[in-house]
Amino acid sequence: MIILWTDALIFFLILVLILTVFSLRKKEQFIRPWKKVTHSRTAMVSLVILLCFMFIGLLDSVHFKPSDSKQNEIISILDYWANPLRLTQEKSYSAPFSAYLYSKELIITENQIRSWGYPRLEYGASHLSDIEAEKMSDILSKAILGLCKGAGITLLIFFAYHYLTKLVFFSSKAVNTVFATLFLINTISYMLVDLSSYYHVLGTDKVGEDVLYQAIKSIRTGLVIGSLTTLIMLPMAIIFGILAGFFRGWVDDVIQYIYTTLNSIPGVLLIAASILMVQVYMANHQEEFTSLVARADMRLLFLCLILGVTSWTGLCRLLRAETLKLREMEYVQAAQALGVPRYLILYRHILPNVMHIVLISVVLDFSSLVLAEAVLSYVNIGVDPTTYSWGNMINGARLEMAREPIVWWSLAASFVFMFSLVLAANLFADTVRDAFDPRRAES
């Protein structure tokens, strides 16, 4: 088993979340808002989608060296399971569900007859002998088989849950919403799995690699950039923002000077300089990076670090302004008059009342960071070109859109996956924000 830096940080973040939930599981002020969240169908649907993305990202974060592979090759559990997609590389572009290449070539038949046409794919629809007569019926039969598999597994889980918990059918709106979403996701997933063994469902790119495989592999990159960058920026934003607003005076002046100075430096220049430093370091220490995966992982880690350092200032300003208002509230003034230590006032009175701002800002930052990766990859200072990411897919698709005929499926696939992740995160955060906001609490 190979543990990369980002793998270790991802599992550390999950461990912190589990310990936090375990420590707060019996506190009413923590349980009550989450009960409100479960009453929202939108929030539960978004949560299930986010958990599915996280599950795929975790599968792609467990790396190892296969015993039967070439030297220094590192793959993940997701790569191993997706071998039908990973190992079926064609010659060049092919459209979704196509059996032919997308561009005409000179074809030489067995009788040495030369013609100008579209060559057959090596893997896609190779099991068909008469494509025109068999293709549509074959796709429909495999799609229906996949839908039945996904529906059967979801129903089996639902009946098992009903039997174990002794629930009456349709008694819980949250349970019904979760299983309805799982039903939809499982049926689509199994349909794609069955079809992907015989067709390139979303086509192939310039080098013949399956676009669906690229889009799925890019999930981990989006989650790493969003979550690890947030983990880096969140402590600085909370600590500096609350201290600046509560103590004011020279403390406020110093913190304002720090984030004002940092904001005056163009973020793109900082990112470009840090990426250049990483590339120089890796070039001078090649013995430490013996595989492309390790090199790409180090560049991804430093990109998260520099994004975290440059993105905490906005949340810090919001928390400073909110703390300036809260410190003048009656309950804070009363606590100070009674001699309550300042650290207790910050922990018990200030911090809980700014968490709704923290939550919504973090999720918005998560969404913007996922989208920013595409922009950074466009100017070639994002993740490594060998890393699967939606940004690299969009960067490659910008030239494909100028082709005739147009190659649209790489851009469409990256857009759909990125849109699903960002939309689910925003909708879920909006519901959680409303539930945890003390000013929106129901009487």
- pLDDT tens, 43-97? 889 989 999 999 999 999 888 887 766 566 788 898 888 888 888 888 888 889 9
Closest residue by Cα to residue 260 from 316, 183, 218, 305: 316
Assigned domain for 74 exists: no
182 and 215, same domain (yes or no) = no
Tens-place pLDDT, residues 126-177:
888 888 888 889 899 999 998 998 888 888 887 777 776 654 444 466 777 8
Question: What are the strands, taking DSSP E only, across 122-191?
Answer: none
Mean pLDDT of the chain: 83
Is 204 a member of any domain?
no
Question: Given this model, what pLDDT does residue 166 score?
Answer: 55
Same domain, 118 and 227: no
How many residues belong to the chain?
A: 443
- The reply to whether 253 falls in a domain is yes
Range of the domain at 168: 94-196
Asked if residue 75 belongs to a domain, the reply is: no
Give the 3-state secondary structure of residue 66: coil
So what's the pLDDT on residue 69? 60
Q: At which of 196, 228, 263 does a domain end?
A: 196
Domain total in the chain: 2
**Per-residue pLDDT at 367:** 78
Residue 415 lies in a domain: yes
C-alpha dist (Å) from residue 74 to 77, 221, 223, 295, 321: 10, 16, 20, 12, 48
d(CA 220, CA 31): 30
Is residue 269 domain-shared with residue 362, that is, in the same domain? yes
Q: Mean pLDDT per 10-residue run, the chain (443 residues)?
A: 84 85 73 80 89 91 77 82 85 88 76 76 85 87 90 84 57 74 89 89 88 92 87 88 88 88 80 80 75 81 85 88 88 85 84 80 79 76 83 81 81 90 87 72 48
Q: Return the structure tokens found at 149.
A: 């598999």
